[in-house]
C-alpha cells in the first residue's frame, strides 16, 4: 500500500509536495523508533536530535570530504552514533526518570555547540552541496540507480525512506518480541528486581541505547542527504522534543505507536500550513486538547499503574 | 545563548566575582520556580522559559510602552503569570495527572504548552528583540577594578530580596508549610488535612510567578525576545540538575554555581565564544555520573 497506493493517490491529486512530507515522516519515524526503544527500558530520551545530528554530520563528512558512497556512509553514520551513545551512555544511563530526560535534553545542546566549535563541521556555515546518492552495482549489475541521473529524485527518496523505515520497524518488532525484549520489559517495571533475578541491566541498557541511537543516526544521515546540507541547527532541542512527542502521542505501549504519532504530528503540521501565522497556535491547541482528553496516547493502550515511578 | 548577559572584556577577579553574584542571583530565581513546580507535582515544566519571556513582555508593555512605574509593571508581570499558572494547573495539569496512566504524560502536556505559549508570544508581541529604558542611570566604578552599572546592582539586590522573601514564605507561613508538606509526601499531606488540589494550584501559580518576576526584572538589562524561552528552560534544567531536583536549597546552589561558572568561563575563554557552555555541559555530565541526584537531591527524587 505504501509503495503503490500512495504514489497513485499523489499522482491523482497532483500534490507532489506530499512526497517530501511523507519522506520526512518516514525518516522522523525511524528516529522516533529509537526514542520509543529507550522508553522500553524505562528511560525518557529527549536526546535523539543529538544522535540524528551526529549521523547527519558523519554521513556528510564521509561523502563530501572522504568521497565515500552514500550507501556505505549511511550505516557508518548509524554505527558512529551508536558508538557515541555507548561512550555517553556509560555514565548517564545510571540516571533515571526526569534526571535522564533532562540530561539527554542538555546533550542535544552539547552536540549543537560541538558542531559549531569543531573545524571539521564548518561551524555555523555547515556542510552544503552534498552530492545525491550515487548508484551501486555489484559485478557490473546495477542494484541501485544513480540518484543524480534520475528524473524524479523525490520518488526515489520516498521509496528509500520507506524501505529503511519498514526495515527499522521490522527490526524493532523482532527485538521487542525476542528474549531481549522481555528483559527490557522487566527493566521497565523494576530495575532492582530485574537485576536481582540475574538480568544484566547495565549491559542491556547500553545495548538498547546504542540501538536506539543507531536509528537516530540513520534517520539523521538520510535527512542530510535529502536536504543536501547539514547545519548545527538541522536538529535542535525542539526536534528532540518532537521525537519524544511522536512516541508519547502514538502511545508507548505499541511498537507502531511512534510511526502513527509521527504521521499525525508531522502531517498535521504540514496541513495546517495554510493557516499561515496561526499554524503554531492551532497546532499546539490541538496537541494540548489531545493530551487533555487522551493522556495515554492515540492508541490508548493502558499500562499497569504499578510501573516505574 | 544569552545575548548581552554581560560585556565580554578583559576582567579581573573582583569583576568576575561580582558578575558571578549577579548572574547567580537571577539564575537561582529561575531555577526556584522550576524546582517548586517539580517538587509539588512531579511535573517537568518545559514551558518555564516561555513563562519567563511572557513576564518580560508584560513588564515591557507596561513600563516600556505605557510608562507605568517599574515596580507596578513588575507586579503586573507577577499577577499575570500567577493567574496563567493557576489556570494551566487547574484546567490542564490536574485533569491530565488524574487521567493518565503514566506520570510522563505531563511532559507531553508541558511541551505542548511551551509550543502554545511560543505561538501566543509570536502573535501578540512579534519576534523582535525588545528593550526598555534604563531604570537607573550611571555606573558604579571602584578604581576601574570593579565596574557595574547601577541598574544591574539594583536588579541583583531585588533578586536576592525576592529569594529571601520566597524562602521566608516557604518556611514561616501556613501556605509555605502546606506546600512543603505536599512536596514531601502528597498522600500524607492529604491525610493531615491539607487541601491538596488547592495548594497544588497555589504552588504552580507561585512557580509561574517567580518566572514572570525574573523575566520582568531582566527585561531592563537584557531586553526580551521570543527565542529566549527555550534557552532559559535548558539553563533552568541544568541548575536544577546541579542542585538536585525538587530541593529549594539545591535550586539556589545550582543557580549560584552556574552563574559563577559562566562568569569565570566567559571571562577566561571569551575569545573562544561558546566553548564555555560546552565545558559547562561536559562538566555537568561528569558531575552527574558521579553524583546522579545532584548536590542536595534525594536519590531518584
Mean pLDDT of B136-163: 82
Minimum-distance CB partner of A241 among B111, B275, B284? B111
The pLDDT, as a whole number, for residue B246 is 79
Q: Answer yes or no: is pLDDT of B18 > 60.
A: yes
Instruction: Give the list of residues 6+ apart from residue A160 with CB closer than 8 angstroms, or none.
Output: A133, A222
| pLDDT (average), residues A146-171 | 77
Chain A, chain B: beta-carbon pairs less than 8 Å apart: 146
pLDDT of residue B79: 93
B301 pLDDT band, cuts 50/70/90, is very low
pLDDT digits (tens, 9 = 90+) for A266-281: 888 877 877 777 888 8
Up-side HSE of residue B19: CA atoms within 13 Å toward CB? 26
pLDDT computed for residue A305 by the predictor:
38
Does B293 contact A at CB distance below 8 Å?
yes
Instruction: Report pLDDT for A14.
Output: 60
Q: What are phi and psi of B266, to 5 degrees?
A: -70, -30
Which of A43, A44, A98 best probes binding to B when mutated, by most B CB atoms within 10 angstroms? A98
Taking only the tens place, the pLDDT of each residue in B264-290 is: 888 777 766 667 878 888 888 888 878
Please indicate whether, in this complex, the C-beta atoms of A103 and B46 are within 8 angstroms of each other: no
Which helix (H) or strand (E) segment is A92 a member of? helix A70-92
Helix (H, G, I), strand (E, B) or coil at A71: helix
pLDDT of residue B168: 92
3-state secondary structure of A95: coil
Question: What confidence category does residue A82 fall into, taking pLDDT thresholds of 50, 70 and 90?
Answer: very high
- Residues 160 through 199 of chain B touching chain A, CB cutoff 8 Å: none
The average pLDDT across B221-240 equals: 84
- Phi, psi (deg, nearest 5) at residue B179: -65, -40
First to last CA, chain B: 29
With the C-alpha atoms ordered B41, B45, B48, B54, is the resulting torsion angle positive or negative? negative
What residue of A is the nearest CA neighbor of B276?
Answer: A113
Model pTM score = 0.82
B234 touches chain A (CB under 8 A): yes
Residue of chain A nearest B273, judged by CA positions? A117
Residue A307 has a pLDDT of: 37
Among B74, B92, B115, B55, smallest CA distance to B201 is for: B92
Across A3-12, A106-115, B75-84, B166-175, least confident range: A3-12
DSSP A198-239: T--HHHHHHHHHHHHHHHHHHHHHHHHHHHTEE-TTSS-HHH
List the single best residue of A103, A116, A236, A300 to mutate versus B (max B Cβ within 10 A): A103
Return d(Cα A259, Cα B108) in angstroms, integer.
17
**Model confidence at B1, in pLDDT bands (50, 70, 90)?**
very low
Between helices A48-64 and A70-92, what is the axis angle to 10°? 140
Going by C-alpha positions, the residue among B171, B84, B166, B168 that lies closest to residue B120 is: B84
pLDDT at A69 over 70: yes
Cross-chain Cβ contact B122/A280 below 8 Å: yes
Using a 10 angstrom Cβ sphere, with 0-12 exposed, 13-18 middle and 19 or more buried, the burial of residue B222 is middle
Which of A43-57, A121-135, A152-166, B56-70 shows the lowest mean pLDDT across its residues?
A: A121-135
Is the pLDDT at A15 greater than 70? The verdict is: no
Amino acid at each position: 500500500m505504501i509503495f503503490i497506493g500512495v504514489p497513485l493517490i499523489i499522482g491523482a491529486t497532483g500534490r507532489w509536495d506530499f512526497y517530501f512530507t511523507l519522506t520526512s515522516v518516514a525518516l522522523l519515524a525511524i528516529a522516533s523508533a529509537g526514542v520509543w526503544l529507550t522508553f522500553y527500558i524505562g528511560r525518557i530520551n529527549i536526546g535523539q536530535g543529538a544522535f540524528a545530528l551526529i549521523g547527519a554530520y558523519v554521513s556528510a563528512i564521509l561523502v563530501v570530504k572522504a568521497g565515500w558512497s552514500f550507501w556505505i556512509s549511511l550505516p557508518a553514520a548509524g554505527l558512529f552514533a551508536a558508538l557515541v551513545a555507548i561512550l555517553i551512555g556509560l555514565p548517564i544511563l545510571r540516571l533515571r526518570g526526569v534526571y535522564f530526560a533532562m540530561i539527554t535534553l542538555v546533550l542535544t545542546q552539547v552536540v549543537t555547540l560541538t558542531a559549531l566549535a569543531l573545524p571539521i563541521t564548518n561551524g555555523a556555515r555547515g556542510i552544503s552541496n552534498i552530492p545525491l546518492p550515487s548508484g551501486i552495482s555489484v559485478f557490473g549489475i546495477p542494484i541501485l540507480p544513480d540518484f543524480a541521473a534520475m528524473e524524479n529524485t523525490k520518488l526515489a527518496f520516498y521509496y528509500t525512506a520507506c524501505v529503511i523505515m519498514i526495515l527499522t520497524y521490522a527490526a524493532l518488532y523482532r527485538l521487542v518480541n525476542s528474549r531481549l525484549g522481555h528483559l527490557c520489559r522487566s527493566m521497565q517495571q523494576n530495575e532492582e528486581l530485574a537485576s536481582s533475578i540475574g538480568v544484566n541491566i547495565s549491559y542491556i541498557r547500553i545495548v538498547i541505547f546504542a540501538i536506539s541511537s543507531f536509528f537516530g543516526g540513520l534517520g539523521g544521515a538520510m535527512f542530510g542527504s535529502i536536504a543536501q546540507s547539514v547545519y548545527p541547527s538541522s536538529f535542535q532541542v525542539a526536534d528532540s522534543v518532537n521525537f519524544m512527542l511522536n512516541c508519547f502521542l502514538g502511545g508507548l505501549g505499541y511498537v507502531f505507536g511512534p510511526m502513527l504519532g509521527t504521521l499525525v504530528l508531522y502531517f498535521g503540521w504540514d496541513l495546517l500550513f495554510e493557516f499561515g501565522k496561526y499554524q503554531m497556535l492551532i497546532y499546539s491547541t490541538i496537541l494540548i486538547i489531545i493530551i487533555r482528553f487522551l493522556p495515554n496516547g492515540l492508541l490508548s493502550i493502558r499500562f499497569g499503574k504499578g510501573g516505574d515511578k | 545563548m544569552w545575548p548581552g548577559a554581560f560585556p565580554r572584556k578583559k576582567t579581573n577577579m573582583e569583576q568576575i566575582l561580582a558578575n558571578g553574584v549577579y548572574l547567580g542571583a537571577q539564575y537561582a530565581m529561575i531555577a526556584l520556580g522550576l524546582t517548586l513546580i517539580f517538587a509539588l507535582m512531579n511535573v517537568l515544566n518545559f514551558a518555564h522559559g516561555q513563562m519567563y519571556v511572557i513576564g518580560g513582555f508584560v513588564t515591557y508593555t507596561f513600563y516600556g510602552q505605557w510608562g507605568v512605574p517599574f515596580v507596578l509593571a513588575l507586579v503586573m508581570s507577577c499577577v499575570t503569570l500567577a493567574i496563567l499558572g493557576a489556570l494551566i494547573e487547574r484546567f490542564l495539569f490536574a485533569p491530565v495527572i488524574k487521567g493518565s496512566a503514566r506520570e510522563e504524560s505531563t511532559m507531553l502536556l508541558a511541551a505542548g504548552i511551551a509550543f502554545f505559549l511560543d505561538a501566543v508570544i509570536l502573535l501578540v508581541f512579534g519576534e523582535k528583540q525588545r528593550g526598555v529604558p534604563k531604570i537607573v542611570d550611571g555606573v558604579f566604578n571602584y578604581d576601574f577594578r570593579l565596574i557595574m552599572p547601577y541598574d544591574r546592582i539594583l536588579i541583583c539586590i531585588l533578586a536576592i530580596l525576592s529569594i529571601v522573601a520566597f524562602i521566608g514564605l516557604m518556611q514561616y507561613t501556613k501556605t509555605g508549610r502546606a506546600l512543603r508538606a505536599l512536596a514531601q509526601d502528597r498522600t500524607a499531606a492529604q491525610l493531615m488535612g491539607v487541601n491538596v488540589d488547592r495548594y497544588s494550584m497555589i504552588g504552580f501559580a507561585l512557580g509561574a510567578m517567580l518566572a514572570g518576576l525574573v523575566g520582568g526584572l531582566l527585561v531592563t538589562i537584557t531586553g526580551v525576545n521570543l527565542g529566549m524561552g527555550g534557552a532559559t528552560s535548558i539553563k533552568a534544567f541544568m541548575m536544577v540538575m546541579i542542585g538536585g531536583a525538587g530541593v529549594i536549597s539545591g535550586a539556589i546552589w545550582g543557580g549560584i554555581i552556574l552563574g559563577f561558572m559562566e562568569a569565570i568561563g566567559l571571562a577566561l575563554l571569551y575569545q573562544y565564544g561558546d566553548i564555555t557552555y560546552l565545558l559547562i555541559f561536559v562538566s555537568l555530565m561528569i558531575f552527574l555520573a558521579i553524583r546522579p541526584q545532584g548536590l542536595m537531591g534525594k536519590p531518584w527524587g
